[in-house]
A and B are shown apart, each in its own frame.
Chain A
Amino acid sequence: MQSECCKLRPLVFAALVLACLVLPLGAFAEEDLDQGRIFSIQDRPYHMNHEFTLSFGFMPLDAFYKMFSVNGHYVVHFDELWAWEAVHLSFSKYLSIDTGLKGELDDRWDVQPTDPEEKRIDFTIDTNLMIKPMFGKAVLFDDSVIHSDTYFLVGLGAEKFETAWYPAIDFGVGIRIFIIDTISARLEVREYIHIGEEVGGTLVFGLGFSYNAFAEDNKVSAGSTTETREGQP
């Protein structure tokens, strides 16, 4: 009797494992079907054209200084997917805060860093390809609806440190929140990798406001909705 029980135990265990694996899959499938029965397709209510942006940057990773920057961007949007950030200029000279590390090194161990000033960034200039694969809408505080897109950047440029210019490549990701047809807010993160005597990186968080010039050229009637059912055009 006990041996039969021992023989059955692996079978029961296998059945339980199989059930655990299969049942949730069934549940997902059912939920997917429930969502897919009726769906609606909306035109994008906001389209970018010639974008001028003023933004503020924060570079938190340097040990000796927390740096800030003021940035200007000009972006040409070709279509819903592609755009070219033709110019991105960043000015950060004099916009830094001492972290107190120099003072700490001096006070605790009476040592001076070789030259932390060398790592301070004065200017950055770069040009980027922008791809905007995601567009959508979200509900804010369960109260109001906002539209947004998510974009990715990759580009080339140069960083001017205290001592010299270095070539750099950069990539980033950002989210744009549309406020009105012509104004949107951009929140983004970029990483610059400069190549010089040594390879180094600069992480930049940015928050900016964009003006969409000639927005009316691309304007589509807001919110036009097509509701359709599965199997129907």
Chain B
Amino acid sequence: MNQATSTLRLLSVVMALSVTITFGGYSFADDDFEQKSAYGPIQKRGYELNHEVSLGWAYLPLDPYYKGYGASLSYTIHFGHLMALELFRVGFSWNTDTSLKTKLIDQMPNISPTEFPAVVFFENTNLVFKLLYGKQTFLNRAVLHYEIFVTAGAAFAFLNPFNVTELDMDNARYDMGVNGGVGFRFWLSPSWSIRVDLRDTVFLIELGSAGGDVQLDNSAEIGLAISADL
């Protein structure tokens, strides 16, 4: 009787263990399957950046007295998947007068062109936060890798009423401020990518003026650049 009981107990333990292992294993497999089905296979990023140099076109559309068209050059160090430092982004703008400015100067003899300082050179230093990295199929045929990032940092600008070729240093201004923006990049190859930047700068301080005048002046920029990863 005792032996039969012991045998039964042993069998029960073995069965219980088998059930636990089998169903436990099934449950893990199920979880694993669910995880896979939710996100698909996990892949390494196809493209990563280290030292990025960008050269691009810039457009300054917001000022009511001028529209700026220019070029920019930037160097960015990428620390990882999420953070980067745009060490510098320098550029110049070739400014064209709006009809409002032309009318004012033409119709009002007391208004001088020197009263309209415009951004001629600019420099930004920014932290870059890379929010999104992904890929999209194009017409179900090709795969395009992209990322979306935001930038925030300091800005410096040299303002002058005239363009680079005819600068008037008596009416030049040096402004400092902060800038923020959002950008989009897609890769052409592991080393080359195209990026679009949308930035807004708020100038806070006019350098060189008595006591550093506090003023709020806004300048937005749309940029399109080609980047090389060195």
Contacts and interface: CB of A to CB of B under 8 A. Distances in A.
The answer to whether A binds B is yes
A61 B62 contact: yes
Main secondary structure of the interface of A (DSSP, over half): mixed
B144 to A, nearest CB: 7
A24 interface: yes
A217 to B, nearest CB: 21
B134 A63 contact: no
Interface string A127-164: 00000011111111110011011100000000000000
Contacts of A12: none
B208 interface: no
Contacts of A222: 37-38
A141 B131 contact: yes
Contacts, number: 87
Contacts of A3: none
Interface in A40-71: 40, 42, 60-61, 63-64
B189 interface: yes
Contacts of A108: 115
A109 interface: yes
B108 interface: yes
B82 A60 contact: no
A63 B98 contact: yes
Contact of B61 (A61, A109, A141, A145): A61
B62 to A, nearest CB: 7
Main secondary structure, interface of B, reads mixed
Contacts of B137: 134-136
Contacts of A140: 131-132
Contacts of A80: 140
A101 B62 CA distance: 12
B138 interface: yes
Contacts of A105: 104
Contacts of A40: 40-41
A100 to B, nearest CB: 10
A148 B148 CA distance: 13
B43 to A, nearest CB: 8
A63 B136 CA distance: 37
A222 B139 CA distance: 20
A81 B139 CA distance: 8
A111 B103 CA distance: 11
A35 interface: yes
Nearest to B43: A40
A230 interface: no
Nearest to B63: A63
B139 A138 contact: no
Interface in A94-123: 99, 101, 105, 108-109, 111, 113
Interface string A171-201: 0000000000000000000000000000000
B156 to A, nearest CB: 23
B9 interface: no
Contact of A136 (B82, B134, B189): B134
Given A28-B190, A60-B62, A141-B82, A149 B133 contact: no
B136 A150 contact: yes
A145 B134 CA distance: 9
Q: Which 8 A-B pairs have the closest CB atoms?
A: A138-B134, A136-B136, A63-B64, A134-B136, A223-B37, A138-B132, A145-B39, A136-B135
Interface of A: 24, 27-28, 31, 35, 40, 42, 60-61, 63-64, 80-81, 99, 101, 105, 108-109, 111, 113, 133-142, 145-146, 148-150, 221-225, 227
Interface of B: 36-41, 46, 61-62, 64, 81-82, 98, 100, 104, 108, 110-111, 115, 131-140, 143-144, 146, 148, 189-191, 220
